[in-house]
Structures are given as C-alpha cells and as structure tokens.
Structure 1
Amino acid sequence: MVRTKDPAVRTLLIERAAQMLRARDPVTLRSLVAGTGVSTMAVYTYFGGMDGLWRAMRQEGFSRLATLLDGVPLSADPVRDLAALGAAYLSNALANPDLYRVMFDAGFELEDPAAADETLHSLVRAIDRAKDAGRFRAEVDAVSLATQTWTVGHGLVSLVATGPLPRPALGHGVTILTALFISCGDEPGRCRDSVEDGWQV
C-alpha cells in the first residue's frame, strides 16, 4: 500500500529550515530533522534532497507573496492600489524575512516560475488601470514601471530587514514612489495623496 504524502510534513520542514536560517544555524540533513519527529528520509520523500528543499523554499516565498498581493483590496484609485501592492510586498518581506532572502537565491531554480511572474504582473495590472484612468501617460511601459516600483520596495526592505536602516525608513517609499509616479504623468498633489493612502506598511 502506497502511503500518501502529508502536506503538513512538507510545511514543517520548510518552516524549520526558515527558523534555522533566522538563527544562523547550519542547515544540514540531520540538523533539519532533529527534534521534528520525522526522519532524514522525509527530506528525500518530499523534496528529493536538500537542493529540492531550497527550491521549495524559494517557491513558498513567491507563493505566499502572490497570495498576499492577490488579497490586496482594489479601490477606485489605481495609483493608491499600486502603492498598496508595494506596501504589501514590504509587509510580506518583514513577516517572512528568511523565506524572503531565499526567494532571491538564483542558485536554485523555481518549481513554478509562473508564480514569481504573477507577483510582477499584479503591479502591471495596476499600472494599466492607472493608464486607462488617465493618471499615467499612455506611452508608459507598464512592465518597466512595475520593475522600478518593485525595485523601490526591494531596496527599502532589504536595507531595513538586514539592519542598516531603522524601520521608520520605510516611510521614504512615499516620497520615492510619488516622484516616480509623477514622472509618469500623475498630478503631484493627487499622486501624493494616493501614495500616502496606499503605503500603509
């Protein structure tokens, strides 16, 4: 009789690896399962080995981010929504700092690259709405602007999460994004109000 895999065991091992990274403990096959009640064979059963575990951790990070971004409520103000997506990105990184770091370890392929693409496309859709609403110029490249918006969030949260900047520095995102969106054609005062409304980290 074939035993079915228990998704709780898979999640347990991913969370355990993330906790070890947070504590700066070496993550080895034996140290990973120590005290969990599962054997080293579970790492092979669920991930095919340690490399598979790292791939799964990257995937889990992007999957959680995609779920969070998908849950950001949309309003009638697409610029506010774009800033809210950026704020959700930061909140996710601060809530899951260890998975966040692994997400960008390009040494391991993603199990499903489409999940990572979807996180960027959520920004692209908000930008397209802003263009349709006349807030951004029609010629604005949505993918390019989405990438720049992501870069702002990634840079800020990386500096805060690793310690050089205090958490209040996340507030600089309002000024940076406002300037970026004004350069795309938005009216300054209205833009500032929208970004401040959405940037609730």
Structure 2
Amino acid sequence: MSPKPRATDVKTRLVEAAIRLLDENGPDALQARKLAAEVGVSTMAVYTHFGGMAALVDAVAQAGYLRLSGWLAGVGETDDPVADIFSLARTYRQAVAEQPQLFAVTFGQTSPGGKRATLSDLTTAAGREAAQEGLEAFAHIVRATERAIAAGRFRPADEYQAAAQLWSALHGFVTLEASGHFGPGEQGIDHILIPLGITMAVGLGDTVDEAGRSAEAARAAWRARTGNAGQGENE
C-alpha cells in the first residue's frame, strides 16, 4: 500500500494544481471539485487543508508573490539604482505576461468563485507585518527606490510610498498592456513603459538626462540577459 501523503504535500499539490487550472482555463476553473480531481484526492481535502476556497485563493496569491519575488531577485543590483528600477519594471512585466491568470488572482483583480485574495497596504508598518509574501516582492522595488534616494537621484521621501508610486505606474501599464491597449508583442515597452518610467523618475527628483541614460543602461542589460532586443524595441 502506498504511504499516505503528508498534509503539507497535499496542500502544496493543491496550490500547484490551482495554478495550473488558472493558467489553462482561467479563474472559473478554480473549483474544489476540479482541484480534487486534478490532485487525485476527495473534494473534502480542500476544506480539510484550507478550511475553504477563500484560504486556498490566499495560498495561490502567496505563491504568486513568491514567484514574482524570485523573478525580481534575479535582476540584481548595479551602481545605477534608477537603471535597476527600469530593469525591475521590465522583469515584472515579463513575469506577469507569462502567467497573467495567476497574477490577476495575486493582485486581487479576479475573484475565483467570488473569493478575492486578501490584500494589505504595504506602505504601512501594520500592512507589511500582515503580508510577508507580498512584502518580499515589493521589497525589491523599495530597495532600489531607497538606493536612488540615498544616491541623490530621487529627492528625500518615504521609500515605501515612493516605491508604491512606481509600482502603481508599472502595474497600470502591465494591466492595460495585457488587455491589448498598447498593441501586439512588446511595442508598448518603447512607446509607453520607458517614457512612463522616465516621467516617474523625474517626478521623484531625477533629471530627464540622467533618467534617460539609466533607461538605456537597463535596455542594454536586458539585451545582454536575453540575447536580443525583443519585439517592438528599437535596435
């Protein structure tokens, strides 16, 4: 007889199955019955391990934040914090583009079965304490923002609030691009995302020239990592 799977294993498999169902069929597929069939357990397992679909949606959102944090951690740091912000933005956009259904749940944009992920205000100490997974991803933007302030590129400000402004602009672009507003492929990167980033950097205290140089440095770093300019980018 096969050994009974550990509770943690079943929970992990249920979350992984939920992400697969989201990727393949969207939020309507996230149902206890379909999850159980995907994992090979009874429907009751969802309630045994999560107490209900609401907690499972939260677990999926947490997994999304952890995946996003992993993407952003791969960017690393250079001696140009504003270029690093552009690189983080490009990487964030790529992560969301590859798994739009997962990140729609992660950011509370969709509500599978009427259950929306629990969200926290990461600009406050109380909100940060309540949302470690989301904070881990947000912290990459905060760190780069903090370094830009320390370097004199951005004017003195609360790094969490300044980073939240950058995040808001970035996520707005990503959401609209995913809806098809900026054309096919990656053409919105040159026409919208990079100019938006320069505008945001200048608004936070940078100069147009310095922000432009940082944008170009980030573009060169992206090309070096991917081996090409990407569709829609200027050669």
**TM-score range normalised by the length of the shorter chain:** 0.7 to 0.9
The equivalent residue for 1:88 is 91
**1:66 has 2:65 as partner:** no
**1:140 has 2:157 as partner:** yes
TM-score, normalised to structure 1's length? 0.83
- Specify which of 106, 122, 133 is matched with residue 115 of structure 1: 133
Unaligned runs of 5+ in 2: 110-115, 121-129, 223-229, 231-235
- Specify which of 178, 182, 201 is matched with residue 202 of structure 2: 182
Identical-residue share of aligned pairs (%):
34
The equivalent residue for 1:99 is 102
The equivalent residue for 1:4 is 6
Number of aligned residues: 199
Moved beyond 6 Å, runs of 4+: none
The equivalent residue for 1:152 is 169
Give the Cα–Cα distance (whole angstroms) in 1 for the partners of residues 178 and 145 of structure 2.
27
The equivalent residue for 1:196 is 216
| Paired residue type of 1:179 | T
1:65-89 CA distances to partner (integer Å, 9 max, x unpaired)?
Answer: 1222223211111111111122222
| Paired residue type of 1:21 | L
Give the Cα–Cα distance (whole angstroms) in 2 for the partners of residues 58 and 35 of structure 1.
19
Give the Cα–Cα distance (whole angstroms) in 1 for the partners of residues 42 and 179 of structure 2.
33
1:81-108 CA distances to partner (integer Å, 9 max, x unpaired)?
Answer: 1111222221221122111011122833
Q: Is contact 2:107-2:117 (8 Å) kept? A: no
Deviates more, 1:180-189 or 1:143-152: 180-189
1:24-65 CA distances to partner (integer Å, 9 max, x unpaired)?
Answer: 444322122224423323323432322221110111111211
Unaligned runs of 5+ in 1: none
CA RMSD of aligned residues (A): 2.7
Give the Cα–Cα distance (whole angstroms) in 2 for the partners of residues 127 and 70 of structure 1.
15
Q: Is contact 1:157-1:170 (8 Å) kept? A: no
Structure number with greater CO (CA < 8 Å, separation at least 6) is 1
TM-score, normalised to structure 2's length? 0.73
| Secondary structure at the counterpart of residue 102 of structure 1 | helix
Deviates more, 1:77-86 or 1:67-76: 67-76
